[in-house]
Structure 1
Amino acid sequence: MSQFRYWLDRLLLRWVPPSLPAMQLGPEGSSQNPTMIQFFTWDAHTPDMSWWEHFEKQVLPLVALGFTQVWLPPPHKAMVPKGCGYDAYDLWDLGEFNQKGTVATRWGTKEELLRACDAAKQCNLNVIIDAVLNHKLGADRTETFRAVRVDPLNRLKDIESERHVKGWTAFDFPGRLGKYSSMQWNFNHFTGLDWDELTRTNGIFRISSERHEGWSKWVDTENGNYDYLLGIDIDHRHPEVRKDLFAWGSWVLETTGACGFRLDAIKHMDRRFLLEFIKKCRNQTGRKQTFAVSEYWSANLQLLIPYVRAFQGQQTSFFDVPLHENFHRASKAGASYDLRTILDGSLVKLRPGDAVTFVDNHDTQVGQSLESWVDINFKSQAYALILLRCHGYPCVFYGDLYPNDECYDEDTSRTLKQLLLARKSFAYGPMVDYFEHRNCIGFVRMGDSDHAGCAVVLSNDPMLDLSTCKIRMNVGSHLGTTFRSFFDGSRTIAIDRDGWGVFPSSVDGVEVWIENREIK
């Protein structure tokens, strides 16, 4: 993309309203800071109960920590019994029908899901559905049709002549027998596939049979055209496809009582379809504040901005992948990373009203497709930056909070719980930054009529002399008081009559200071 186009897009964003203020992020009428959690890891499991039962038991603890929304894993039937749902087979089967060798999904039965969603609703904890609308896997039959093999690095370039292929493209859903939806899918509903059963060869094949229009033009331009990602790629221009997916969107919200969607892999889907999908779900359910957050995976803000514009404001927020990449780089660079630049190039800095901020997720875990794990040397600092600042809407990762076999660190979890409570109780009001030192930065939340505010100091150099590495910050109306560490109440700071105090960090790299009301 040209630099001129980039700056033009940025200029035009001024007339695009932000999305988050128009969405429901927590209980209606609540003044509490909204906070979301991704409630699963890639290999998430529990030994003695289903995942939905585990979620139900955690509703009250999640509310106590200040969470207002929960992003659940894809609830539909996958292609294999232990499939996490990104290998989507049948969106209309939430663990109700005997398909693919199981009634329950990997996460549990439909009954367990609905019971957990109801428990969350009773506690004003909103549920977010992970919508996997880009592709299908696990077809029931093969079909023979014409297709063209294309260059994986340039999907607009054919590398073979058109020929017949046999693909796993027929989805009959024999266990569901037409309940909820009578649509059965065939090769006419797809644009591409990656396996030819006829020659038993891998590749990316564009379906070219009669009535096929080729790849959608309204997708990301990476690899020439990034319509195809994996599996059997859905054609979102087909009238029957559109009708079925629009109906499913409204149905799954009504069935589960969920308040919105996490939209998977949007750079590979027709933007016009997605925009209409969001609008129809809001109109048909009568929920104008239905939440939506989209996964457009690129650390390049320049590539993300056109998508923010394309969704016209108020339609979807976006995960701030550029900010995550900054966190990842900071954790790898250690003390050589300049903390004053930690927000540079991020969505939350440019468009805070569209940014869902996060530190890690299931895809960034070690060994996964988008591996970019934020190491423990910067994990707590990153969470402080998304949880205690006033910009963006933070999403916490289950793997950082709950014990698990994949990525759990006990010290990180302990600090994260304290940061969540600090967000819930203190991180309110206007914010003033003190990004003055390369390895030590701070900011102050001034508080509001109901919350006292806090001061935050972050550092990324374990060799810093904490007796000299301090930041002078003004805490506003707390004149002549004393502040104490939220983590260690024995540490105190005197505030002078003009509201200034000199605040050190801690050996862990994160310190939160609050007014010591007991001393006052």
Structure 2
Amino acid sequence: MFAKLKSWFQPAPSPLLYMRLGPEESQDNPLMIQFFTWDRLHETLSWWKHFETEIPRLAEMGVTQVWLPPPNKAAHPKGRGYDAYDLWDLGEFDRKGTIQTRWGTREELLHACRLAKEHKIDILIDAVLNHKLGADRTETFQAVPVQSENRLKNSGPTREIEGWTAFDYKQRNEKYSDFRWTQEHFTGVDWDQRSKTKGIYRITGPGHKGWSRNVDHELGNYDFLLGIDIDHRNPAVQEDLLRWGKWILETTDAVGFRLDAIKHIDRKFMLHWIQETRRRAGLKGMFVVSEYWSGNLKLLLPYIRAFKGETAFFDVPLHMNFHQASRERTRYDLRNILRNTVLEIKPNDAVTFVDNHDTVEGQSLESWVGDNFKIQAYAIILLRGHGYPCVFYGDLYPNKECYNENTARNIMLLIEARKKFAYGPTTDYFAEKNCIGFVRQGDATHQGCAVILSNKEEGADSFLHELRMNVGTENAGKTFRSHMTQHGRVEIDAAGWGTFSCFANNVQVWTKLEEE
């Protein structure tokens, strides 16, 4: 009894302090990249081939982990994998009008994963465990329609409907898994084939328990998101998903997961899935980052506590601060940029990001950080000493959705600064509404840097901010140079202070001038 009470009060481990973030022998900063956008495809290569050709460059940049798009067979030939049809098909079987997935074939994926490992880059699998789409045939069963704005309230009587809920996987012929999904393995559907009616139908009848209670309370109960909602309380479902977790890690030699739509999945099962997959795969440091999409830290913190340090979380509140700053421009007070974020409250649980495939203009979670604040946001996540940053393919590589050449060039300079200079304790100088700075003191093998960023737009072409910051007495008498523009000098006084500058609406990184 005493041991159980002790476990209740024992603080949860900090995910970023024990999970694998890259090669264990490396002394350099780790860095994640999301290597896809929603629409981008390569002109001549499959996506997996494209990724393979970029691996040497990513390694040189200092990337240690790559979040790949869902590798599973989708419901449609060009489906991104979030319309999950078969998790066990990585582009091997001729189904849904294609053998390969949107991203390529199984062989191409595995070849790219092997090359990534040779270059000491870890692979992260995007796990879509909430729902399925593209069933092979329909079944008839009892269901009740519910209100879209409150899934706890019925919008009509129970009725017999015809739903797409049977997954036979005949072409796969029980290879890898012999599990066959039927209506008993789901909680709800969004289409009645009999009446050709779209809606949200909660499946009733023998064996069905309704929506899970261990999900987010938005819309009354947010168990149902889309498609055919998986019942994670079903023992057969649990075992198949657990077996898949171990299998996908072993098949691809990946080291962990990005978990999609975690607020919609029974959190008791999800916690068990993470713990058990980690145990079965024998990966104590298995990396896991979860997507709980809300800019409200008060809603996110209970989920962080519920998962007991078994997963990091994307810092959506920080992203929303970046988005707000880009919209409000000069009116935004930069001293509030970290306020009410995971990075501020639980920095060792925070995977930080500026944008991703869902935040691009026109997407379902549109909250794009404009070019007027993009570099400032990246300076915060890449160069401060807290959180684990994830850069977005769409911000670095040419694409029709969101690319800006000048922005990409500056992000590359910030990535270089992260690899070479952004080490040691962080000291903040958040003194002005439109100009803040911070200093990294360096460590035994890396020098530090001084960083200033501005969101002042009036007179942006000529206005120069100046901010006094201390870089340590060990740098007394030294000269710092600008990293972003390769010009400008700052002399450090005997007490370690220097007056660093930055043009309005810009970012500047200052590093020690190497002695000739």
- TM-score, normalised to structure 2, is 0.97
- Partner residue of 1:192? 188
Secondary structure, aligned partner of 1:156: coil
- Alignment partner of 1:435 is 2:444: no
- Partner residue of 1:504? 501
User: What letter corresponds to residue 140 of structure 2 in structure 1?
Assistant: T
- Partner residue of 1:274? 270
User: What letter corresponds to residue 130 of structure 1 in structure 2?
Assistant: D
- Alignment partner of 1:397 is 2:392: yes
Select which of 169, 176, 180 maps to 2:172. Answer: 176
Select which of 409, 427, 435 maps to 1:414. Answer: 409
Structure 2 counterparts to residues 64-213 of structure 1, below 5 A:
64-213=60-209
- Partner residue of 1:494? 491
Residue 28 of structure 1, CA deviation: 1.2
**Quick check: 361-370 or 465-474, which moved more?**
465-474
- Partner residue of 2:360? 365
User: What letter corresponds to residue 421 of structure 1 in structure 2?
Assistant: E
- TM-score, normalised to structure 1, is 0.96
Deviations 1:287-318 (A, max 9, x none): 110000000000000000100110111x1000
Residue 464 of structure 1, CA deviation: 5.0
- State whether residues 141 and 161 of structure 2, in contact with CA within 8 Å, keep that contact through their aligned partners in structure 1: yes
Residue 467 of structure 1, CA deviation: 5.9
- State whether residues 481 and 490 of structure 2, in contact with CA within 8 Å, keep that contact through their aligned partners in structure 1: yes
Secondary structure, aligned partner of 1:154: coil
CA distance in 2, matches of 1:294, 1:379: 23
Structure 2 counterparts to residues 292-307 of structure 1, below 5 A:
292-307=288-303
Deviations 1:189-220 (A, max 9, x none): 00001111111111110000211000001000
User: What letter corresponds to residue 157 of structure 1 in structure 2?
Assistant: K
Secondary structure, aligned partner of 2:308: coil
User: What letter corresponds to residue 306 of structure 1 in structure 2?
Assistant: P
- When residues 54 and 13 of structure 1 are mapped into structure 2, their CA distance, relative to the original with a 3 A threshold, is farther
Deviations 1:251-308 (A, max 9, x none): 0000000000000000000001111111111111111100000000000000001001
CA distance in 1, matches of 2:106, 2:465: 54
- State whether residues 19 and 317 of structure 1, in contact with CA within 8 Å, keep that contact through their aligned partners in structure 2: yes
- Partner residue of 2:321? 326
User: What letter corresponds to residue 513 of structure 2 in structure 1?
Assistant: N
Deviations 1:140-195 (A, max 9, x none): 00000000001111111111111100000001112111100001100000000111
Secondary structure, aligned partner of 2:409: helix
Secondary structure, aligned partner of 2:152: strand
User: What letter corresponds to residue 265 of structure 1 in structure 2?
Assistant: A
User: What letter corresponds to residue 428 of structure 2 in structure 1?
Assistant: D
- Alignment partner of 1:26 is 2:13: no
- Alignment partner of 1:223 is 2:222: no
- State whether residues 463 and 503 of structure 2, in contact with CA within 8 Å, keep that contact through their aligned partners in structure 1: no
Secondary structure, aligned partner of 1:155: coil
- When residues 434 and 163 of structure 1 are mapped into structure 2, their CA distance, relative to the original with a 3 A threshold, is same
CA distance in 2, matches of 1:274, 1:101: 32
Displaced runs of 4+ in structure 1, greater than 6 A? none
Secondary structure, aligned partner of 1:158: coil
- Alignment partner of 1:242 is 2:242: no
Secondary structure, aligned partner of 1:505: strand
CA distance in 2, matches of 1:350, 1:285: 31
Secondary structure, aligned partner of 1:497: coil
Secondary structure, aligned partner of 2:469: strand
Paired residue total: 507
Residue 421 of structure 1, CA deviation: 0.5
Structure 1 gap segments, 5+ residues each:
1-11
CA distance in 2, matches of 1:464, 1:504: 15
CA distance in 2, matches of 1:404, 1:413: 11
CA distance in 2, matches of 1:442, 1:13: 38
Secondary structure, aligned partner of 2:373: helix
User: What letter corresponds to residue 402 of structure 1 in structure 2?
Assistant: Y
- When residues 171 and 445 of structure 1 are mapped into structure 2, their CA distance, relative to the original with a 3 A threshold, is same
Residue 15 of structure 1, CA deviation: 2.4
Structure 2 gap segments, 5+ residues each:
1-7
Select which of 424, 429, 436 maps to 2:419. Answer: 424
Deviations 1:332-391 (A, max 9, x none): 000000000000010010000000000000000000000000000000000000000000
Secondary structure, aligned partner of 2:475: coil
CA distance in 1, matches of 2:150, 2:463: 57
CA distance in 2, matches of 1:325, 1:189: 36
Secondary structure, aligned partner of 1:59: helix
Tell me the C-alpha RMSD between the 2 structures: 1.2
- State whether residues 465 and 504 of structure 2, in contact with CA within 8 Å, keep that contact through their aligned partners in structure 1: no
Select which of 46, 49, 69 maps to 2:45. Answer: 49
